[in-house]
Amino acid sequence: MDGMHDMGGRQGFGAVRYTQNAQAFHADWEVRANSLYAFAVRRGIFNMDEYRHAIERMEPRHYLAASYYERSLTSLATLLVEKGVVTHEELEQRARGQFPLAAPSAPGRTNAAARQHFQPGNRVRVRTDHVPGHIRMPGYIRGKTGVVVGVSPAYPFPDAHAHALKADDEPTYDVRFRSEDLWPNSAESALVHVGVFQSYLEPAL
Amino acid sequence: MPDHDRVIQRTATVEQRVEAIQTALDARGMNATEAVEELDHLAQEEWNPKNGARVVARAWVDPPFRERLLANGRAAVAELGLSLPKHHRHLVVLENTATVQNVICCTLCSCTAFTIIGLPPDWYKDLEYRSRVVREARTVLREMGLDLLPEVEIRVWDTTADTRYMVLPAQPPETIGWPEERLAEIVTRDSMIGVARL
């Protein structure tokens, strides 16, 4: 889905609020939210792709306004409800207030039927896929051409794995793009590398 | 006409929502409270940039280890007793030099090799870093205090799959010959993300 989470290259944001030795956590509830979602993953209640997708399904205004760990706990609660572990009503009763959840999921998809293997040095093009469900292809590389610089071990295809569909393992490729190709006349010069699943790629002519 | 029957209920605080989830899981006999105490400890004590700092220091003093680390990060860090979660199937180590600056990010969420370089700092997860670093890396780094010479090539790595990255910072020349333990003390998390040099 072309969701609010797909932040790469969006304009209008200001300076990074950077401090040296910045903390990962700022409050006890953040530590706990992080541990509770990790606990649910360990218990096999949901996988990381389902977890990421439930964050992406948050209402866009809620997504933007929420802190990182509020997004985490919203995903956790959404999946616990969707998997039938708890009900939304029980969570709201226990929380003594509204407990906003993410929006329902749209259909996912299985691995691309025709997939090709690539080697470092191969030129590849990112397919111009538009899907309603989970996808790990940032919008800024859609349709763009780059060069494979690395191959990673096979992993379940996230577009299926986030939707409880049959997810075959497939390799991911570290693909090098030129920022000038990604945002013509509108980017500072850099090489931008993206981990791209095999199903998203085709050979570049 | 306003709907007078509609009950306006405020949104629960994040603390209340976390508590609600934990007590709901406990009520189902899932022993969440016990399990998360262990995970709290891992997150706050064990998943620490000191792990990555040991890896960097070893790579500086042990060239064969450095070669193994660059070839297969996951296997090399295991030599130091370090591991990654099962789903992080590959650790790619990116070597910074006088003319190359690698920097890592995650534009879609906030993925990191957290067991090695620590859980990501707040700014890494903020919308500003996620949106801008892929498109205007040089300016973003300068704003963060790293003013690179024009001839330094910037290589940004967006963590969009389950491959994880860490940056191997360049060793400061004045530290050549230091013992490994002392070297590990100068390696910062931010240098392993690639937004700082040592």
Distances (CA, A) of A133 to A53, B125, B156, B182: 8, 23, 27, 49
Mean pLDDT of chain A: 97
pLDDT-based confidence at residue B30 (cuts at 50, 70, 90): very high
pLDDT-based confidence at residue A205 (cuts at 50, 70, 90): confident
β-pairing verdict for A145-156 and A201-203: unpaired
Distance CA A57, CA A105 (A): 7
Does residue B5 have a pLDDT over 80?
no
**Taking CA atoms, what residue in A is nearest to B139?**
A188
| Predicted local distance difference test score (pLDDT) of residue B90 | 93
Residues B32-67 pLDDT 10s: 998 899 999 998 889 999 999 999 999 999 999 999
Contact predicate B107/B126, CB 8 Å: no
Contact predicate B35/A32, CB 8 Å: no
Does residue A156 have a pLDDT over 90?
yes
Q: CATH assignment of A1-100, given 1.25.40.10, 3.40.50.2300, 3.40.50.300, 1.10.472.20?
A: 1.10.472.20
Of B83, B105, B109, B131, the catalytic one is B109
| Predicted local distance difference test score (pLDDT) of residue B89 | 86
Separation in Å, CA of B118 to nearest CA in chain A = 8
Does residue A106 have a pLDDT over 60?
yes
| Predicted local distance difference test score (pLDDT) of residue A81 | 98
Separation in Å, CA of B21 to nearest CA in chain A = 7
| Predicted local distance difference test score (pLDDT) of residue B88 | 87
B43/A173: higher pLDDT: A173
Q: Which amino acid is located at A186 in the chain?
A: S
Residues A5-52 pLDDT 10s: 999 999 999 999 999 989 899 999 999 999 999 999 999 999 999 999
pLDDT-based confidence at residue B87 (cuts at 50, 70, 90): confident
| Predicted local distance difference test score (pLDDT) of residue B86 | 85
Is the CB of A204 inside 8 Å of chain B's CB atoms?
A: no
| Predicted local distance difference test score (pLDDT) of residue B65 | 98
Contact predicate B195/B103, CB 8 Å: yes
Q: How many residues in total does chain A contain? A: 205
Is the CB of A180 inside 8 Å of chain B's CB atoms?
A: no
Mean pLDDT of chain B: 94
3-state secondary structure (DSSP) of residue B36: helix
Residues linked to residue A175 through DSSP beta bridges, in sequence order: A148, A194
Residue ranges per structural domain of chain B: 14-45, 49-193
Spell out the CATH class of B49-193.
alpha beta
Instruction: Please provide the CATH number assigned to the domain covering A123-203.
Output: 2.30.30.50
Tell me if the pTM is above 0.80: yes
| Predicted local distance difference test score (pLDDT) of residue B59 | 98
What are the start and end residues of each CATH 2.30.30.50 domain in chain A?
Answer: 123-203
What is the separation of C-alpha A154 from the centre of its chain, rounded to a whole number of angstroms? Answer: 17
pLDDT (mean) for B2-11: 68
- Picking from A105-114, B57-66, B84-93, B129-138, which range would have the lowest pLDDT averaged per residue? B84-93
pLDDT-based confidence at residue B7 (cuts at 50, 70, 90): low
Check if B105 is active-site: no
Does residue B3 have a pLDDT over 60?
no
**B158/A193 CB distance under 8 A:** yes
Distances (CA, A) of B122 to A67, B9, B194, B195, B196: 10, 31, 15, 14, 16
Residues B167-179 pLDDT 10s: 999 999 999 999 9
Distance CA B9, CA B100 (A): 54
| Predicted local distance difference test score (pLDDT) of residue A127 | 98
Helices (H) and strands (E) in chain A, counts: 7, 5
Q: Which amino acid is located at A183 in the chain?
A: W
| Predicted local distance difference test score (pLDDT) of residue A197 | 98
| Predicted local distance difference test score (pLDDT) of residue B4 | 57
Q: What is the 8-class DSSP label of residue A99?
A: -
Chain B window 4-33: which residues touch A at a Cβ cutoff of 8 Å?
Answer: 9-25, 28, 30, 32
What are the start and end residues of each CATH 1.10.472.20 domain in chain A?
Answer: 1-100
Distances (CA, A) of B26 to A28, A93, A99, A145: 19, 15, 19, 50
pLDDT-based confidence at residue B9 (cuts at 50, 70, 90): confident
Of B83, B105, B111, B191, the catalytic one is B111
